[in-house]
Structure 1
Amino acid sequence: MDATRWTGLSTAPHGAILSRIAEMIREVHLDARLRPEHPQAWMEMETRFSYLPVSCSGSMIDYQMAYGRCGGAVMIDISLILNHDRNPCGLWPLSLTLLENGDIRISSQGGCIAPPLFRAELAGKSVHDIVTRCLNFLKLLGNWTRHRELVLMEGFSGLHAIGHWHDQLMRLGAVVTLRHELFVDLSLSLAEIKSCMRKSFRSLITSGSKIWQIESITSANPEVWAEFKRLHFQVAGRSTRSDETWQIQYDTVVSQQGFLIGLRDAHQRLVGGGYFHVTRQEGCYAVAAYDRALFDKPLGHVVQFLAIQEMQRRGLRWYKIGRRHYPADTPSPTEKELSISCFKQGFATHILPSYEFSLTISPS
């Protein structure tokens, strides 16, 4: 099947598309299984990593796929469970998206193409060989879809060193751009974490904790979740995403892969809240909503601090707050992006590097 003759991914048989993907996997001698055909195997693999980023969790992949469909995009999950000597050794989030102009894009659920995640005990030579096959697979996929200008990334996943993915991309001629991510080291004591926070934030956390009644939702509670969803709608002034995405996030709370921190006023009205997606090792700031009439009072400060406490209670290692934008970044960030990332930095203990790669695939 020639991808260039698709009238749209929505009209192409998904089975035929996945069959062609499987052919390319075999062509580059990559031992792998497609997540859509083996969802349980992906879930089982999640428990075998010493550090599993939220972005590699099946629940986050499902959320991003559903979010991508909110704008009418057609997305197909082609994430791969990687094997070595016939045993599962890695996970690789991948997807195909059909854009409105008919172009097909390769990504990791709408974002830059992420590197495969490997188990810590896998030998370096084996990682190198599998990464080589993964990149050969991307070359085939890029030529098949005619998406030859790839954007890839490498972020923090428990290790600080540059890995085989980074090295081989540079050897292929990729151009790299430095990005920055904000993290909290949850192995520090709460007092140490608080000492790293912006001084003004510390006093706001103290005062806010006295103003608001705090609610931590860590298990099934549909009534409070519905309140949070309504608050988000009121603050945004419209529905920004589908009911499916909200349901996926609520399901993570039920399954202990997420939690909600809520703040109530003296009248028991929910005035603010933040939802956080987690694995066993990492937490991620996902979405928040606060009553705009109360922006002069400490809301987000309290939610962030309580979220850190909840992550520590669960034994997580790192909290990923989000990207730190700088004025000289390319493309230039908006004033809102700069303001939000400056606010987030007030809670961080670390600014860690991430890398964005541009790679051109030669036609074949």
Structure 2
Amino acid sequence: MVKNNLDTISSLLKLHGLNGIINDPELNQRTFTTSGCPYIEYSPWMIAYHTEYLNSNTNVAENFTISVLNGHQPCALINITLVKLDSGEFSLLSNASGILPPYLFDSLSRKQKRKIAQKCFDFYLGIAKFFNIRELQFQTTFVSGESEGWFSILQNVGKPQFSQELYCDLSLSTEQYRQAIRDKYKKHIKSGLKLWDVQIVEQVTVEKFSEIQNLHLEVVGFATRSDITWQQLRNAINLKQAFAVTAYDGDKLVGAAIFSYTSKVAVYSMGVYDRTLFDDPVSHVVHFTAIEHMKYLGLKEYHLGSRCHQSEWMMPSDKETQIGYFKEGFMTHSRFKVSFNIQPEIDQ
């Protein structure tokens, strides 16, 4: 881990007029739960997962999850991760991606939200100056009625870049949803349900979970996650913070995916499918079964991920574009993800 930076972050927090408690696990979990925050990116277990993921991939990462206080009561959540690269330089992220806005409680007035958001932005710039970080990438999925204040702050200092995020409305009935998805997927789902034994997994033993790990290793050819991150995913399933969908051909596992969720929103965490069955509808039936289970859980929305058009500014790979096309067939609506690359003023 990055050593001796907690005091520095605490000092910078106070310097920028924010009263907050850093890395208190019980408080952070309570703040996340009571706030009704629908976004998995602020969930304590997901933050821990991404921090471990970064640390297992040669980076040195330290997360700072901050419960911001208004008086004595939490009013916002900050999720930032300081990463020391192999070059010795630092980077600032949220989880393993761009910096997220602070999650602001609905109980705050519009004026209070804007004031806290501005202080958080200045706090991030203060971190960049202290650690000589030459570029900050901010990102947020634009939600009408929620994102305008943060977007306005960023727009004053940078130029927005847009990409497409895909979602599924879980309030639709099964019949309504079948009408919304890509036409050829309907046939794939129907045949997939006949071909494979598809199961929803909400409690999983070490032995059963190892089947998913082994299939992932077989398909990818090398380990992409540490044993600790795999354990975190298994724990999330058993704690009802995630669930898996598996597809078997007899006794052989041919596909599996893990979906994480909050009280309102589910996200696609990982998936793996037997490559010899690439042209068969394994992944189609896994996703459809997962979406039906999300409805059963009473969730409101499923975030499938990025569309990754070839023309988008981040220049996705062919594989990312193909995955995005696959996911697009299950979406009912989309939103813009807005990214800002900002070069803060730092000491040379």
Does structure 2 retain, via aligned residues, the 8 Å contact 1:75–1:98? Answer: yes
Tell me the secondary structure at the aligned position of residue 47 of structure 1: helix
2:40 aligns with one of 50, 54, 76? 54
Deviation string for 1:207-238 (max 9, x for gaps)? 10011111111124322211111111111112
1:99 aligned residue: 85
Matches within 5 A, 1:151-170: 151-156=137-142, 159=144, 162-170=147-155
Shift of 1:123: 0.9
What is the identity, as a one-letter code, of the residue corresponding to 2:11?
A: E
Give 1:24's aligned residue: 12
The answer to whether structure 1 residue 204 and structure 2 residue 188 are counterparts is yes
Under a length normalisation based on structure 1, what TM-score does the superposition of the two structures give? 0.92
Contact 1:180 1:324 in 2 (8 A): yes
Of residues 140, 155, 165, the one that matches 1:181 is 165
Map of 1:136 onto structure 2:
122
Matched residue type, 1:224:
K
Check whether the contact 2:142–2:338 (CA below 8 A) recurs between aligned residues: no
Partner of 1:259: 243
Question: Identity percentage over the alignment?
Answer: 28
Is the CA contact 1:97–1:110 (under 8 Å) kept in the aligned structure 2? no
Q: 1:102-142 CA distances to partner (integer Å, 9 max, x unpaired)? A: 10011112210000111212111111111111111112111
> Within 5 Å, which residues of 2 pair with 1:252-331?
252-265=236-249, 267-331=250-314
Query: Is 1:340 paired with 2:328?
Result: no
Task: Indicate yes or no: 2:51 matched with 1:65.
Answer: yes
Matched with 2:197 is 213
SS in 2 for 1:188: coil
Cα separation, 1, equivalents of 2:6 and 2:166? 36
Which structure 2 segments of 5+ residues have no match? none
Once the two structures are TM-superposed, the CA of residue 160 in structure 1 deviates from its matched residue by 5.6
Task: Report SS of the residue matched to 1:240.
Answer: coil
**C-alpha distance 359-50 of structure 1, shift in aligned 2 (>3 A):** same
Structure 1 spans left out of the alignment, 5+ residues:
1-8
Q: Which amino acid aligns with 1:132?
A: Q
**What CA distance in whole angstroms lies between the structure 2 residues aligned with 1:318 and 1:78?**
28
Figure out how many residues of one structure are paired with residues of the other and give that number.
347
* TM-score (normalizing by structure 2): 0.96
Structure 1 residues 66 and 295: alpha-carbon distance in aligned structure 2, compared to 1, 3 A threshold: same
What's the CA shift string for 1:230-252, capped at 9, x where partnerless?
A: 11111111212110110000000
